[in-house]
Amino acid sequence: MVALQNHREILDKAVAGERLTPEEGLRLLESHDLAALGRAADAVTRRLHPENYRTYNIDRNVNYTNVCTAVCDFCAFYRTPKSKEGYVLDRDELCQKIQETLDLGGDQILMQGGLHPEFKLEWYEQLLRDIKDRFPSLNIHGFSPPEIYHFTKVSKLPLRTVLERLKAAGLGSLPGGGAEILVDRVRSAITRGKVMTDDWLEVNRVWHSLGGRSTATMMFGHVETLAERIEHLERLRQVQDETGGFTAFICWTFQPDHTDMADTPPAGSFEYLRTNAVARLYLDNFANIQSSWVTQGLKIGQLALLYGANDMGSLMIEENVVAEAGTVHHLSLDEIRGAISELGFTPRQRNVHYQLFDSAREEWAIEANHQRYEQIRNAQHAPKNGAARTLVPLTIVQGDSTA
């Protein structure tokens, strides 16, 4: 009875806007009262977001290379530098993907890749310049902290210099990928040759000091303990106190298929919703939490909007990383908007800074997506030859490296 009371007191404290201690966060994460966690997380979300809308964005995940010098046991996407299956996307294909994104009402690409052993910083600067020359209004949400850290090693340049030069070349914002669990014990157990906790955080700290913004992520449900999940949240909260530069947090469950950790039992919906709710309660200095529907499907992704999330994440036009691990959810813009509407909110398209698009632009994107789906439907019913087949890569796939 005493424990139950304490649990309720912790929830009341968070709902009132008081900061939770790591011990209190852990108590909540150990709780099985999912309904109580959800109610409290939802109360916090509604306090922070009293507006009558919930948001989403439209972008495309562009993986410029799958060649990687690191070895992550949970990753089914990468290929070793000697692999015949390694690729580097050529510029024409890259630009075509961007144009398709803009044609569907998107405003940014999420551009990430493996840790390529040879490319110097100049290669990435040229990549950014080529894109910005052709698509000046596009936001390049690119290069996760492990990649940035890797660039400093390959080019033998200080972190600040690397970030300053990438920013000058057109880098818009940093995705929060490669965080997994920000505890070195966990990172050492599941990755080799990849940035460790302090340096992952330092990339963000320096980027924020340059006026840049980034997102933060957590991939959980593998070898970490519940206490280590809280330690992860605590490290993020500390950096956010220092810089205020994180725009959002997104967590998702590890997808084991086709990875070296395939025998790990997958974390389910209960675990996902519980962790998402606790993240909302713990990260009192984060304005936005994104739902991750890729790993749990649309319905749990929708429910996450009642368990601490205020944003449906991205309608992604392409995703490769999570898809390689066997998770592929097809979802249309109408389905994302419908999931928001069903909960009594108005769906609104936003940019990376959570600024809303005006209604005319939003309507235009909806119509563009309708037309594209019409084409895809027609293509699926057409004989499998000729132009119709080229539409297949445009099937909407939601990926969870959305951060």
Site residues for ligand SF4 per CB under 6 A: 68, 70, 72, 75, 77-78, 114-115, 146, 194
**CA atoms of 54 and 312, how far apart (whole Å):** 8
* 317 in Cβ contact with 57 (< 8 Å): no
Smallest separation (angstroms) from ligand SF4 to the CB of 369: 30
Q: Which is nearer to ligand SF4, 115 or 331 (CB)?
A: 115
Q: Which is nearer to ligand SF4, 106 or 176 (CB)?
A: 176
Q: Which is nearer to ligand SF4, 8 or 153 (CB)?
A: 153
DSSP 306: G
Distance of CA 318 to CAs 61, 72, 110, 148, 348, Å?
Answer: 5, 22, 10, 23, 21
DSSP 216: E
Smallest separation (angstroms) from ligand SF4 to the CB of 162: 17
Q: Which is nearer to ligand SF4, 224 or 311 (CB)?
A: 224
Smallest separation (angstroms) from ligand SF4 to the CB of 193: 8
Report the 10 Å Cβ neighbour count for 35: 8
For the chain, how big is the Rg over CA atoms in Å?
Answer: 21
**CA atoms of 375 and 371, how far apart (whole Å):** 6
Smallest separation (angstroms) from ligand SF4 to the CB of 313: 19
Burial 179-188 (b: 16+ CB within 10 A, else e): bbbbbeebbe
Q: Which is nearer to ligand SF4, 73 or 164 (CB)?
A: 73
Smallest separation (angstroms) from ligand SF4 to the CB of 37: 30
Q: Which is nearer to ligand SF4, 76 or 98 (CB)?
A: 76
Identify the burial level of 278 via C-beta atoms within 10 angstroms of its C-beta, where 0-12 means exposed, 13-18 middle and 19 or more buried: buried
Contacts of 278 (CB under 8 A, 6+ apart): 25, 28, 29, 37, 41, 230, 233
Smallest separation (angstroms) from ligand SF4 to the CB of 89: 14
**CA atoms of 315 and 191, how far apart (whole Å):** 29
Q: Which is nearer to ligand SF4, 37 or 76 (CB)?
A: 76
Q: Which is nearer to ligand SF4, 177 or 347 (CB)?
A: 177
Query: Among 203, 198, 202, which Cα is nearest to 183's?
Result: 198
Alpha carbon of residue 177 to chain centroid = 7
Smallest separation (angstroms) from ligand SF4 to the CB of 301: 23
Smallest separation (angstroms) from ligand SF4 to the CB of 73: 9
Which residue is listed with tokens 């419908």? 338
Identify the burial level of 125 via C-beta atoms within 10 angstroms of its C-beta, where 0-12 means exposed, 13-18 middle and 19 or more buried: middle
The amino acid occupying position 316 is M
Q: Which is nearer to ligand SF4, 78 or 272 (CB)?
A: 78
Contacts of 240 (CB under 8 A, 6+ apart): 216, 246, 283, 285, 286
Residue 351, φ and ψ in degrees, nearest 5: -100, -170
Smallest separation (angstroms) from ligand SF4 to the CB of 246: 20
Smallest separation (angstroms) from ligand SF4 to the CB of 389: 29
**CA atoms of 237 and 268, how far apart (whole Å):** 26
Q: Which is nearer to ligand SF4, 48 or 71 (CB)?
A: 71
Q: Which is nearer to ligand SF4, 146 or 399 (CB)?
A: 146
Smallest separation (angstroms) from ligand SF4 to the CB of 65: 9
